Amino acid sequence: MTTETRTGSSTTYKFEYGLPGFENLSEFEFRNLDEFPPFKLLQSTDMPDISMIVLDGSLLNVFENVSFPKHEMNILGLENREYLRIFVILRIEEETKHFVANTKAPIILNTYTGFGKQIILDSPGLSEDYKLDNL
């Protein structure tokens, strides 16, 4: 059974455990920001005031050789990377006013089942302040 739903330029995913800091929110919509590609808005459908800017992790070229914890992949029903999609949460660095990505805590999605989860990775080369210089 798939819980992913698409409407126009958005896709909704279920987060059984919510997101850290928002554990009580279980459904989030990925909305295209047509004026600002390749960025997306991750917005709670439970509380629309809760949203954050995210970026497709494949654009950063940092996850190709990263091993994702097997138990996290199993929770989402991901036996392999076929249906895996990775997003990173962005924030604005206070000093430079530039976007940085948290590559240590990506959001992983199962595009087949429509479930998602934010996980913590402990791999060399990942950072909480990954600079987006090449976008």
How does residue 9 score in pLDDT terms, banded at 50, 70 and 90?
confident
Least confident span in 6-10, 65-69, 93-97, 128-132: 6-10
* pTM flag (> 0.95): no
pLDDT tens digits along 44-82? 999 999 999 999 999 998 999 999 999 999 999 999 899
- Domains annotated for the chain, with CATH where assigned, are 5-131 (2.30.290.10)
Least confident span in 3-7, 91-95, 126-130: 3-7
Instruction: Assign 73 to helix, strand or coil.
Output: helix
Distance between CA atoms of residues 30 and 26, nearest Å: 13
How does residue 113 score in pLDDT terms, banded at 50, 70 and 90?
very high
- CB distance 55 to 87 below 8 Å: yes
pLDDT of the residue at 1: 35
pLDDT of the residue at 103: 97
- DSSP E strand boundaries for 10-81: 10-14, 27-32, 39-44, 51-56
Residue 133 scores a pLDDT above 50: yes
